[in-house]
Amino acid sequence: MVSTYAHNSSMRDRIERVTRDLEEISNILSIHVSPLRTGRLRRFFTEELASLRSEPFDAYDQESKVDYLLLQNYLERRLRTLVLNTERDERARPLLPFAAALVDLCESRAAVRPLVPKDTAQVLSQTQKCVSRGKKTIDALREHLKEWFGFYKGYDPLFDWWVVHPYGVVDSSLESLSSTIREKLVGIKPGDEDAIVGEPIGRGALLLELHTEMIPYTPEEILAIGEREFDWCIAEMKHASNAMGFGDDWKQALEEVKNDYVEPGNQTQLVRDLAREAIAFVENHNLVTVPSIAKETWQMFMMSPEKQKTNPFFLGGDSIIVSYPTDTMDHERKMMSMRGNNIHFSRATVFHELIPGHRLQFYMTSRYRSYRQLFHTPFWIEGWSLYWEMILWDDPRFQKTSHNRIGILFWRLHRCARIIFSVNFHLGRMTAQECIDLLVDQVGHERATAEGEVRRSLAGDYSPLYQAGYMLGALQISALRREIVDTGVVAEIDFHDRFLKENGMPIELVRALMEEIPLSRDYSPSWRFYQL
C-alpha cells in the first residue's frame, strides 16, 4: 500500500518536473511559428495528460487532488492554445511564404547541424525574392535570424565570404515588409508608435477561457456583473460628491481630486509614507501576517516615459514602480501624469501594489508551495489586491475623507470598466477607440492614461480575461470570506494567511481546499459566487 505522503510528494514532484521540462523544450525550440516546436509541445502535453490520468486520484488527500486538477487544467489549456495558435499561423502563412526556410536555418543552428555557406547563401537569396512578393511574426523571425547570423559571423571565414551580403539584403527586406504590413494591412501610419492593435478572440474562445479559469458564467453574464458593479460605483461616487459640495456631479468632484497632487520630485516620499500607513494598518488590526523581511526589503523605482505609455499608473510585485512626469515629457503629458497619479488615487494604489497587495503576495508565493506558481491566474493575483481595496472601503477603522473615497471608487469603477471593454472587445462589439472613449467619458480617465490602459490590455501580452480578473477575482474572494470568516469558521487573519500560503490557482479550488469540498478527476466548476 502506497502512503498518502508518497502520493502527495509524487504530485508535487510531477508538477516541478513538468515545469522544468517545459522550460527546456521552450528554450531549445523558441520560434513560435515552428512546426517542430508545435509538434514537440503537442506530444509533450498529450503524453503528460495520459500519464497523469493513470494516477490513482481517489487515493490522494485534498491538497494532492487539487494539484492533480490544476495540472490537468493547465495541460488541457496549453493544448487548446496550441491548436488555436496553429490555426492563426496557418491563416498568416500566405503572407510569409519564406518563413519555413528561415525557421529551418535557425533551428539547424540550435541543433548544431553542419552548415554549407554556399547553400545557405542560396536560401537567403531565394528568401529575398519571396519577401518582395504578419507583423509580429516577421519581427520575431528577424530577431532569430540575427542571433543565427551572430553565431557564425567571424567564426567561419567561408560563412562571412558567402553569407554577409545576402543576410543584409534579407534583413533589410524583412524590415521593409514589416513596415508595409504595419502601414497597409494594419493601418498604422509611419512614425505612429502609439497606435493600439489587438485581436478579438470571439465568444467561443472566451467560453473556453472562462472554463479554464473555473468561472461558471457566460461572457454575457460576466458583462452583466461588470455593469451592475459599475452602477454601484456611480451611486457611491454621487454620495461622496454630495459630501464634497458638488451634488450628483461626481465628475466635477473627481476633477478636484485629480488636481490634488504632489509637486514633481515629491511622489516617492508620498509613496513611502502611504506604504508605511498600509503596513501599520493591517498589522495593528491583525488582518494578515506580514513577515519582517517582506516589509523591510521592498524597493521603489521610477517608470520611464516610454513605459508610461503602456503603464500610466504604478506597478507592483517585489518592488513598486512609480509613474510620474519626467523632464522629457511635454507639458500636457506631465499634467496628465500628475493628475492621473494624484494623492488619493495613489493611496489605494500603494495598498494594491505593496502590502497587503502584490508585494506581500509575491513574497509568500516564492516561499510557500512555490511549485504552484505554474498555475497563477489573474483572478488570484489581481483579485487579491483589489479585494484589499474593498476591505479598506468597508472597514470603518480605515480613515477616509470624501476625497479619499473618490480615489478608491475611481479604481473600483475602473476595474468594472475593464470587464466591460475587454469582454466587449473580444466579442467584437467594441473597437480599441471605443474602449478608450469609455474610460475617458464614463470613468473619468485622462486620455493619455486611457490610451495606455487600452494599449496594455489589447496588445496580446495579457490573457483575454486578465482585465476581468481584477474585479471577478475580488468578488470571488469576498464571497469566500463571507462563507468562512463571517460565519465564524476561521479567523480573518487565518483566512488571509492560508489564502496566500496555498499559492496561485483558480479561486474555486481555493474554496474546495478551505471548505473540504469533495473532488473528482473530472471536476467541473459550479460555484456561482455572484447572484445575478
pLDDT tens figures, 211-268 = 999 999 999 999 999 999 999 999 999 999 999 999 999 999 999 999 999 998 888 8
pLDDT band at 1 (very low <50, low <70, confident <90, very high): very low
| 458 SS3 class | helix
If you average pLDDT over residues 325-337, what whole number do you get?
84
154 and 233 share one domain: no
On the question of pLDDT at 197 being above 80, the answer is no
Stated as kind and residue range, the H or E segment containing 38 is helix 35-52
What is the structure's pLDDT at 7?
Answer: 52
Domain boundary among 36, 66, 94: 94
Render pLDDT for 490-507 as a digit per residue (tens, 0 to 9).
999 999 999 999 999 999
pLDDT at 336: 82
Residue 160: inside a domain, yes or no? yes
Q: Is residue 46 part of a domain?
A: yes
pLDDT digits (tens, 9 = 90+) for 76-87: 999 998 888 777
Statement: residue 72 has pLDDT above 70:
yes
More confident residue, 364 or 37: 364
For residue 194 the three cell numbers come to 502609439
Residues 24 and 142 in one domain: no
The conformational region for residue 154 under phi > 0 = left, psi -120 to 50 = alpha, else beta, is left
Task: Determine which helix (DSSP H) or strand (DSSP E) holds 322, and give its type and residue range.
Answer: strand 319-322
Average pLDDT over residues 374-385: 96
Domain count, the chain: 3
| One domain, residues 425 and 452 | yes
The amino acid at residue 372 is: R
- Answer whether residue 531 is part of any domain: no
The string of pLDDT tens digits covering residues 51-71 is 999 999 999 999 999 999 999
Cα gap 323→275, rounded to integer Å: 16
- Residues across the chain: 532
Whole-number pLDDT of residue 92: 57
The answer to whether residues 128 and 228 belong to one domain is no
The grid coordinates listed for 439 are: 474610460
What's the pLDDT at 320? 87
Residue 292 shares a structural domain with residue 427:
yes
Amino acid at 386: L
* Domain co-membership, 245 together with 181: no
DSSP 315: B
- For 240, the domain range is 205-515
The angle subtended at Cα 496 by Cα 495 and Cα 500, nearest 5°, is 115
Phi, psi (5° rounding) for residue 300? -125, 135
Name 442's Cβ contacts closer than 8 Å, sequence gap at least 6: 417
The per-residue pLDDT for range 335-358, each reduced to its tens digit, is 888 888 889 998 988 899 999 999
Q: Which of 212, 205, 532 is nearest to 379 (CA)?
A: 212
Say if residue 360's pLDDT is above 80: yes
Dihedral of alpha carbons 493, 12, 72, 519, sign = negative
Mind listing the pLDDT tens digit for each residue in 415-458? 999 999 999 999 999 998 999 999 999 998 888 888 888 888 88
Q: Which residues contact 306 (CB under 8 A, 6 or more apart)?
A: none
Per-residue pLDDT, 498 = 98
Residue type, 92: A
pLDDT-based confidence at 133, cuts 50/70/90?
very low
In a domain, 216, yes or no: yes
Asked if residue 440 and residue 394 are part of one domain, the reply reads yes
Same domain, yes or no: 407 and 432: yes
**Both 88 and 107 in a single domain?**
no
- Residue 339 neighbours by CB under 8 Å, 6+ apart: 258, 259, 261, 446
Q: Which residues contact 167 (CB under 8 A, 6 or more apart)?
A: 124, 145, 149
Are 377 and 479 within one domain? yes
> Do 45 and 144 sit in the same domain of this protein?
no
β-strand pairing of 299-302 with 319-322: parallel
Side-chain half-sphere CA neighbours of 366 within 13 A:
10
